[in-house]
Structure formats: C-alpha cells, structure tokens
Structure 1
Amino acid sequence: MTENSGPVRGSGDAAVQAALERAEQTRHRNVPQFDDLPVPGDTANLREGPNLHDDLLALLPLVGVWRGEGEVVYPTIEGPYKFGQQITFAHDGRPFLSYESRAWLLDDEGEVIRPAAREVGWWRPGPDDTLEVLLAHATGITEIFYGAPRNSTSWEMDTDIVTRTASAKDVSAAKRLYGLVNGGDLAYVEERAMMGQELQPHTSAYLRRVVG
C-alpha cells in the first residue's frame, strides 16, 4: 500500500479487507432456528448457538452458508452448463458437521431455468486428521468419501463406496477438493466416473459466504 491509500486490488491486504467487509453483512445471519426444540439446533454461525466441538477445529473455516455459481460438464451430457448453488455447513455442538447443497440451472444471462441437484450429508473428522464424508443425493446415489485436510484451508477426499438405487445413474467413483481462496471465498472441484467414463472433471463452483 502507498501512503494514505487503501489496499491494493489483488493484494493480501485487499483480500483481508474484503473478508472483513463481507463479515459485516453476514455475521448477524444464521440458518432458521426452532426455539421450541428440546435439544440444541444447528447453527451455521460460530457466534451463535453451542460451542464448536474441539474435534471440528480443522473444519472451522467451512462453517457457514455459501452461495455462488459454477459449471457442470461431462462427455455424456450437452454443455457445459452454468448453475447456481448454496452450500450449508452447520453443527449442533457434537463432533460432526451437517452438510446441505442445493443447486439450480442458469441460462447464459444468469437467469434461473429450474431447480437442479440436491445433496445432504455429514462431515465426520477422525483421528490423525482423517475425514469421513457421507453424502446422499436426490438422484438415488449415496457415497462415502475418505480424505484429509491438505492444509488449514483445503480438504481433499475420494469415494470408498458408491451405492445407487435401481433408477439412478451408473456412478462408480468421485473425488472432491474444497478450498478457501481470495481471503475467504469457498471454491471446489469435483471429478466423477460414471456412465462408463473414466474419472474426470464434472463440476466446479466459486461461492461467497452469506451467513456466519
């Protein structure tokens, strides 16, 4: 930075400043709460609700609600297609994160075409920085991933087991990499092996924090 100037665009200072500005808008928001539950509800805001379990400290940066856009591509589909997405990582004080993702297809102008993929699941940290991730998709697919943090702001995982209903697509494997970029935004890439194709890029997205 020069004297009496603001942060330089693209610099580390600019990224930190941008994260602080976003936090002013997101720190007072949370997922909907039911005040009459007899047990702690989920929170996606570390400033509210039960304390984060110590076993989740390596996943702390993920807690929140994230929203943005991405792209889906694969040899067996036309495309690439653009999509919007919201991902929620929340907790209830126990040593796991609840996970929910909702997506919607977008046209070239960014207008919503229709709802798209949905998935829910659990991120469960284990000893020695191992990570178990269980996901269930509305399309009839369930997956168990194993992985670990690559560093303090990125996490990589591969499927150990993929199961599917009789009406689901033929999916045999998947790999995901999540990471915080540009001072606090969330990005991920996913590879999939399905419909007789080898493991290869399928979806990617760039999301900004909207809660927490």
Structure 2
Amino acid sequence: MSEILPLPDQLPIDTVSVREGPEIHPAMLSLLPLLGVWRGEGQGDYPTIEGFRYGQEIRFWHDGRPFLGMQSRSWVMDADGGFVRPAAREMGFWRPGDGDDFEVVLAQMSGLVQVFVGRARTTTSWEISTDLVARTASAKEVTADHRLYGIVEGDLMYAMDMAAVGQPLQPHISARLARVQ
C-alpha cells in the first residue's frame, strides 16, 4: 500500500479572498470583483426545454498566479424553492489577456468544453462569447454561448444566451447571486 503524500508547506492555498493567502496577481485586477463565493437563484427556459427555476453557487478563487479558477454547481428547484435534483456543473479558468481582454476555458459535466473570449466592459461588468465549442459524442449539440456578468447592488448577476440543438442564439438562463464569502 502506498503512503499518502503530505502537501508541501510552500503550496499556495486556493482562496476566494484578497485578505488571506497569496497576493492576487496584478494581471487579474480587472477580474478582482468576481473573487468570492456567490449563491442565489435563477430561471431558465429554451425552446427545447420546459421553463425551470434553479439554485446556484459559483466560486471564483485564486492562488496568486495569473488566473481565476471557477467552479459552479446548480440544482433544479420547485415552485417553493425546494431542492428537486442536481443540475449543471462547470469548472474552468479565467485568464488575463491584453488590457481589459481575457479568455475563459470551461468544462461541463455534460461533456461540453468551451473556450471564450472576454472583455471587461467596466470595473464591475464582463462579457464573454464562445470562440470554440467542443463536445463528447454523448453531449448535446451546443454551437455558441454568450454571457454577461455584472456586480449590481453588491450581487453577482448574469445572463446567458445559447445556440443549441438547431436553435439560434437566444436567452437561456439568468440569475442573481449574493456574496456568501
């Protein structure tokens, strides 16, 4: 049986705060307001999907290097806000570019991988659009994704448009998430 290797003391911690852990990399300043844990609810629909209400938690973290990590999990809710079942999960990285430009790489549990090009529109709003979409053989067809994120009255709000399963790019989901950490 192999021995469990301990973590080295020098290994930077992943943190959702600028107050603890390593200093944020200067190239990440345009994305700094995203840092944290956000939780709330949203709604969605699509021509091929019945309308739904969902809960979501998004975690943006850093370890001092020039990227933000992102983890998102969501769950379908009933009309009273109760848990029905797990829903989408995605993980990825937001990476700096030139000036206010950046790129995002996201992988979803459904077999979809997306590469986005993005731009900070203001100090508290960001826009990303797919540059590349790849999928496994079992994943549903998605051909484009466009998202707007913004901090509004202290909350993280976003809207996502999607082109999938033969449908043109159109609204799909939107949510308002409060900072919980």
TM over 0.5: yes
Range into which the TM-score falls when normalised by the shorter chain: over 0.9
1:46-81 CA-to-partner distances (Å, cap 9, x unmatched) read: 110000110011111110000000011100011x10
Is it true that 1:169 corresponds to 2:122 in the alignment? no
Aligned-partner Cα distance in 2 for 1:204–1:35: 39
Within 5 A, what are the aligned runs for 1:64-83? 64-78=36-50, 80-83=51-54
Picking from 27, 31, 41, the partner of 1:55 is 27
**Once the 2 structures are TM-superposed, how far is the Cα of residue 38 of structure 1 from its aligned partner?**
4.3
Picking from 124, 129, 150, the partner of 1:179 is 150
**Once the 2 structures are TM-superposed, how far is the Cα of residue 200 of structure 1 from its aligned partner?**
0.2
Within 5 A, what are the aligned runs for 1:110-189? 110-182=81-153, 184-189=154-159
Runs (5+) with no aligned partner, structure 1: 1-33
Identity of aligned residues (%): 55
Aligned-partner Cα distance in 1 for 2:36–2:99: 25
One-letter identity of the residue aligned with 1:198: P
1:191 aligns with 161
**Once the 2 structures are TM-superposed, how far is the Cα of residue 35 of structure 1 from its aligned partner?**
7.1
Aligned-partner Cα distance in 2 for 1:155–1:189: 11
2:71 aligns with 100
**Once the 2 structures are TM-superposed, how far is the Cα of residue 128 of structure 1 from its aligned partner?**
2.4
One-letter identity of the residue aligned with 1:106: M
RMSD: 1.2
Higher strand content, 1 or 2: 2
Structure 2 vs 1, CA of residues 196 and 38 (structure 1 numbering), >3 Å: closer, same or farther?
same
Q: Aligned to 1:55, what secondary structure does the other structure show?
A: helix
Q: Normalised by the size of structure 2, how large is the TM-score?
A: 0.95
Is it true that 1:201 corresponds to 2:174 in the alignment? no
1:86-118 CA-to-partner distances (Å, cap 9, x unmatched) read: 000000000100000000000000000011100
2:12 aligns with 40
**Once the 2 structures are TM-superposed, how far is the Cα of residue 129 of structure 1 from its aligned partner?**
1.5
- Superposed structure 1 runs of 4+ greater than 4 Å apart: 34-38
1:149-207 CA-to-partner distances (Å, cap 9, x unmatched) read: 1111000011000000000001000000000001x110000000000000000010000
Q: Aligned to 2:99, what secondary structure does the other structure show?
A: helix
Runs (5+) with no aligned partner, structure 2: 1-5
